[in-house]
Amino acid sequence: MTAAQRVEPGTFSNEPVLELRRASDREALLEALSELDARLPLTVPVLIGRDRGVGEGIESTDPATPSRLVASAGIAAGADVEAAVERAAESGAGWARRPASERAAILIEAAANLRRDRLELAALAVRECAKPWAEADADVCEAIDFLEYYARGAIALERGPGLLQVPGERNEMRYAARGVVAVISPWNFPLAIPTGMVAAGLATGNGVVLKPAEQSPGCALRVVEALHRAGVPADALALLPGYGETGRALVTHPGVQTIAFTGSSAVGLEILRTAAETPEGQRHVKRVVAEMGGKNCVIVDADADLDEAVPDVIQSAFAYAGQKCSACARVLVHERVAEALIGRLAGVIETLTVDRPDRFDTDVPPVIEQEAKQRVDRYRELAASEGRVIATQERMPDEGWFCAPTLAGELPESSPLLREEVFGPLITVEPVGSVEAACEAVESLPFALTGGLFSRDPATVAAVGDRLRTGNLYVNRQITGAMVGRQPFGGNGLSGVGSQAGGPDYLHQFVEPRVISENTMRHGLVVD
């Protein structure tokens, strides 16, 4: 028994979020923020093994104060991609030979690193991605959860499943690391999502190359540092900041075995197309794990408790300005309670505070960048011209990429607002004649990521649960905030391919099965 095996981790439990209703927790965060501010901007180099490139080329700014530079990052070029993949493959082979429990111990140590710096990391997510405090803190906790959860999962996976055994035959199934994992991560969960995808690759014994979103290289750097400091070999995890070019070079690289992507549908589908190619010399078919967009609907039945449905819809739609793949975009409400629901949603929107994410009383922070603001504002104009803006809240700071939270309705069936992902603080509402009609509307969408149902009839809950192919259906609660191990997260349809993150099946995507069957019978002598 090795030393690492002796420290078998205990059962998984979610990292507790801060109790922000306590003044002491809030003060601690503000203090961490002012300490962080004194150190900004961060420099994010291209990190390949022990080589540190220059940290220049990308400017990551604060969406609430665009003049504030949060991080200055390098841009990984084609040669960097070559070097990173090559070293990840070499180093990965050694990493894969270590027992899963040893790798797990390192990931758990990385989780401890994040835990120790959790206030500062939350502050960084506030600055770099304009996550409001509660969301920023939850992002840190989810990153910790992914490390802890996949570390344990990889130990269990290494044991392999039991196979049927008959006399004279020994059957064994193992899961082996596939090889280099390219991780392409988004900015909206700037700590949790890169950590999750990287951790899954590392836990199962693969070398990993991370290309974070150009909007959040600072957060990605902190994740990579936490892993390296915990003992992940420098070569086994590279950081390649960059734009789409870098990502494209990585995806097309023949040395990459697995691509873990979370982001827009357009990019995700492009990756899937590209990954299907098997250029000369590539001896494998790439596997793509892609979490893509959604057009998430909440169905409110006539017997719903509106006292709960209203705040839950608001929270699902506007927390982090609607910039979650799980966010509520469309409300389908039974006509019998439509007027009441719409009136109350409108009333709440008028009370929302649109402000800086570092304020604890902010309800809606800015969106990530100018381009995003322009996109959301365009959709808002479309809502006004094709239908009606039912409620909006336009009081907001002058500076920063703020968008007015908006409820729109009376849209024609053909409206792009009912189909396209806005990824901003804009939702639509439509009365429907029945829950069945609402389900038909949901089924007509190509996406199937999250969904919500408010009903107090067990029969309705069961029927909708059986019917919809939605990856995550939330009943009588908000539709965002999936917790690792509790709500494995991921969509079906055009929302994604692959098993749900933070769930029992996820790690299987980073390994390949190998079965060894040995004949143990020698001239009639059975050896068991």
Partner 1 sequence: MREVGERLARGSGTSLRHPFRALDDRALNLTSHDRDLRAALFRLVDVTPACRDVDDLGRHLAGLAGELADPPAPLDAAMRIAHTKAGRVALGSAVAAGVRHMAHRFIAGDSPRAARAELRRLWKGGIASTVDLLGEATVTAAEADRYRDRCTEALGELVAAARRWPANNLLERDSLGPLPRANLSVKVTALTPLLRPAAPERGVADAAERLRPLLRRARELDAHLHIDMEALDSVETTLALILDLLSEEEFREGPSAGLVLQAYLRESPAQLERILAWAERRPRRPPLVVRLVKGAYWDHEVAEARQRGWSVPVFTDKAECDRNFETLTARLLDARPAVRVAVGSHNLRSVSYAIARNRLAGGGDGDLELQVLRGLGDDLATSLAAAGLRVRVYSPVGDLVAGMAYLVRRLLENTSNESFLLARSEGASLDEQLAPP
Work out whether 395 is an interface residue with partner 1 (CB under 8 A).
Answer: no
Question: Considering the complex, what minimum distance in angstroms separates the CB of residue 436 from partner 1?
Answer: 15
What's the closest the beta carbon of residue 391 comes to partner 1, in angstroms? 10
| 119 vs 314, beta carbon nearer partner 1 | 314
Nearest by Cα to 257 from 200, 180, 176:
180
Q: Is 10 in the site for partner 1 (CB under 8 A)?
A: no
Give the Cα separation of 80 and 515 in Å (integer): 36
Asked whether the bond before 41 is cis by omega within 30 degrees of 0, the reply is: yes
**Residues 458-497 vs partner 1: string with x where CB under 8 A?**
xxx-------------------------------------
CA 75, 77, 83, 84 dihedral sign is: positive
Catalytic residue among 219, 325, 328, 403: 325
Q: For residue 483, with 0-12 CB atoms within 10 Å meaning exposed, 13-18 middle and 19 or more buried, which class applies?
A: middle
The residue range among 207-215, 266-274, 301-309, 438-446 that interacts with partner 1, by the rule CB under 8 A, is 301-309
**Rounded Cα distance, 298 and 331, in Å:** 5
CA–CA distances in Å: residue 145 to residues 45, 111, 351, 413 = 27, 8, 34, 41
Segment near partner 1 (CB under 8 A); pick from 86-94, 175-183, 358-366, 467-475: 358-366
Residue 291 is a binding residue for partner 1 (CB under 8 A) = no
Residue from 33, 237, 275, 348 touching partner 1 (CB under 8 A): that is 348
Q: Do residues 289 and 509 make contact, with C-beta atoms less than 8 angstroms apart?
A: yes
**DSSP secondary structure letters along 479-510:** S----TTTS-B--EETTEESPPBTSTTGGGGG
Residue 134 in the binding site for partner 1 (CB under 8 A) = yes
- Residue 353 as a binder of partner 1 (CB under 8 A): the answer is yes
Q: Given the structure tokens 């993150």, which residue do they identify?
A: 501
Considering the complex, state which of residue 134 and residue 180 has its C-beta at the smaller distance from partner 1: 134
User: Would residue 129 show up in a list of annotated catalytic residues for this protein?
Assistant: no
| Contact between 401 and 373 (Cβ < 8 Å) | yes
x/- mask, partner 1, residues 98-127, rule CB under 8 A, reads ------------------------------
Q: By three-state DSSP, how is residue 473 classified?
A: strand
Residue 142 identity: E
Are 426 and 447 spatial neighbours (Cβ–Cβ below 8 Å)?
no
Between 157 and 186, how does the x/- string for binding to partner 1 read (CB under 8 A)? Answer: ------------------------------
CA gap 351, 120 in Å, rounded:
31
Beta carbon of residue 303, minimum distance to partner 1 (angstroms, whole number): 4
167 vs 458 by CB, closer to partner 1: 458
State the minimum distance, in angstroms, from the CB of residue 18 to partner 1: 9
Q: Is 347 in the site for partner 1 (CB under 8 A)?
A: yes
Catalytic, 439? Answer: no
Structure tokens at 329: 């975009």
The minimum distance between CB 456 and partner 1, in angstroms, equals 4
CA distances from 163 to 329, 516, 519, 527 (A): 45, 11, 15, 18
434 belongs to the binding site for partner 1 (CB under 8 A): no
428, 418 contact by CB (below 8 A): yes
Catalytic residues: 291, 325
Report the interface residues with partner 1, using CB under 8 A: 13-17, 19-21, 23, 26, 133-134, 302-307, 310-311, 314, 336-337, 344, 346-348, 350-351, 353, 359-361, 456-460
